[in-house]
Copies of this chain bind each other. A is one copy, B any other.
Amino acid sequence: MTNNGPTPEHRPRVIIIGGGFGGLQAARSLARAPVDVLLIDRNNYHGFWPLLYQVATAGIEPEQIAAPIRAIIRRMPNIKFMMAVVESVDRQRREVHTDRGVFPYDQLIVAPGSATNFFGLHNVQEQSIELKDLPDALALRNHIIAKFEQAVSEPDPDRRQQLLTFVVVGGGPTGVELSGAIAELIGYVLRKDYPTLDPRAMRIVLVEAADRILLAFPPTLSRRAQRKLEKFGVDVRLNTSVVDYVDEALLLKDGTSLATQTLIWAAGIQGAPLGATLTPSLQRGGRVAVTPELHLPDDPQVWVIGDLAYLTGADGKPYPQLATVAMQQGRLVAKNVLRQLQNLPLQRFRYIDKGSMATVGRRSAVARIWGLNWSGPIAWFLWLAVHLFYVIGFRNRVLVLINWAYNYFTYDRGSRALIGGAPLPAVNKPSITGAAEPASLTERDWGA
């Protein structure tokens, strides 16, 4: 303990690492409790990630799923916020080390979430697009539109086909929702924006290693979701593993390959790298084992919740890395921190599964709620209602609803401006004829 560390005059200090679903819920549950809370996040906002794929496909605007954390905690006087990147946790000295200073704690709640798992595929990691944060979503949105702009002036049909092939790897909810939304964006909007491009050259491929998509759902719902995706124009490839990504071609285990400049990786997540500074023995997927009360087995003042926490339920399987698990853990961890400070017995985590759902596209979703399977327009409407309810802030709810209504009724997307992307790569001008002579692309798109 340092000379500046906690002294008797201080109220107990709780540091929460991460302002995601788990961390923010823990902070809210500690509001007005007799503790001082410091919430640390690398961003100054709480991201509502279930709608991130809609930002990436120009359905809604990034600010609408980014709730400024300082606004959320404004009326919680015992909660402070610091925008900082946590570098490590020193459990011996009870300190959190960040790029903005060192902060001592009495109780530490670790909720940093997850990172993308590339399963050791180095080239994929270097060149694919992931969807974990708002800059990722904006980069993907810009990337898709830039590929269409490039295709307009690409004279070679093979290159054009490659530019217009969009591959999503991973048939979980993220991959399914994203490929469905890309299919809608292309089918309803971009086809009309680019009348000179042949729609048959536009391809969306969803690659899944297992024998069905949406493995966490019952097989009937997997089949229905797949049928819907295929109806929207998505080429769903089951039992297909990725081997490598070389020279703008995705190499598959069956020996075939897909020529694409757009590889979106949604095949898996792993615990955030911060876990390794907490304990040397990580569980599968880089997760940190916790007791049923949610603290480290050898350190009852350090709690881990959300995607990073590894805890098995009554069925012997680890709890899934879902927002609902993180939020329920956030509530319990706040309660247990206060109980420990009062020397009361701790409570054990019990997950109440309220169901799960995934949209496939327009008027189409699958859901498992109260043990029942739902699909089609009813599931889609439920999905909209639940997600609108959880978006933070009245203003954002109104804006998201207006965007959804606009998209639904006009078959349009408002936000397809390419803002702040890299410039398009220059066209390969024919080297023999020289720059002064108009290339063939000039004639193709221009008054022909």
B68 touches A13 (CB 8 A): no
Copies of the polypeptide in the assembly: 2
- Asked whether any CB of chain B lies closer than 8 Å to the CB of A419, the reply is yes
- Asked whether any CB of chain B lies closer than 8 Å to the CB of A399, the reply is yes
Q: Which of A96-104, A251-259, A287-295, A298-306 contacts B (4 or more CB under 8 A)?
A: A96-104
**For residue A410, which residue of chain B has the nearest CB?**
B395
Chain B residues contacting A61 (CB-CB under 8 Å) are 61-64
Chain B residues contacting A437 (CB-CB under 8 Å) are 2-4, 102
Complex CA–CA separation, A10 to B66 (angstroms): 51
Complex CA–CA separation, A419 to B136 (angstroms): 10
User: What's the least CB distance linking A416 to chain B, in Å?
Assistant: 5
Q: Which of A145-153, A219-227, A278-286, A312-320 contacts B (4 or more CB under 8 A)?
A: A145-153
Q: How many residues of A contact B (CB 8 A)?
A: 82
Q: Which of A80-88, A324-332, A361-369 contacts B (4 or more CB under 8 A)?
A: A80-88
Complex CA–CA separation, A104 to B441 (angstroms): 12
1/0 per position for A2-23, CB-CB distance to B under 8 A? Answer: 1111000011010000000000
User: What's the least CB distance linking A103 to chain B, in Å?
Assistant: 5
Q: Which of A36-44, A200-208, A210-218, A231-239 contacts B (4 or more CB under 8 A)?
A: A36-44
Chain B residues contacting A393 (CB-CB under 8 Å) are 414
**For residue A398, which residue of chain B has the nearest CB?**
B402
Q: Which of A172-180, A373-381, A423-431 contacts B (4 or more CB under 8 A)?
A: A423-431
User: What's the least CB distance linking A190 to chain B, in Å?
Assistant: 9
**For residue A35, which residue of chain B has the nearest CB?**
B447
**For residue A193, which residue of chain B has the nearest CB?**
B70
Complex CA–CA separation, A192 to B72 (angstroms): 12
Chain B residues contacting A443 (CB-CB under 8 Å) are 4
Q: Which of A71, A74, A412, A423 has the most CB of B within 10 A?
A: A71
List CB contacts (< 8 Å) of A378-401 with chain B. Answer: 393, 395-396, 398-399
Complex CA–CA separation, A71 to B423 (angstroms): 21
- Asked whether any CB of chain B lies closer than 8 Å to the CB of A415, the reply is yes
Complex CA–CA separation, A88 to B82 (angstroms): 49
Beyond known contacts A36-B447, A102-B439: 6 more, CB 8 A cutoff: A45-B417, A61-B63, A63-B417, A66-B419, A95-B438, A97-B435
Q: Which residues of A contact B (CB under 8 A)?
A: 2-5, 10-11, 13, 36, 38, 42-45, 61-64, 66-68, 70-71, 74, 80, 82-85, 90, 93, 95, 97, 99-104, 134-135, 138, 145, 149, 152-153, 192-194, 196, 393, 395-396, 398-399, 402-403, 406, 410, 412, 414-420, 423-424, 426-427, 429, 435-439, 441-443, 445-447
Q: When A and B form their complex, which 6 residue pairs have the shortest distance between CB atoms, in order from nearest?
A: A36-B447, A66-B417, A45-B417, A135-B420, A63-B415, A70-B193
Q: Can you name 14 A-B pairs with beta carbons within 8 Å? A: A3-B437, A36-B446, A38-B446, A63-B417, A63-B419, A71-B412, A82-B152, A83-B418, A85-B423, A134-B420, A138-B420, A395-B410, A399-B399, A399-B403
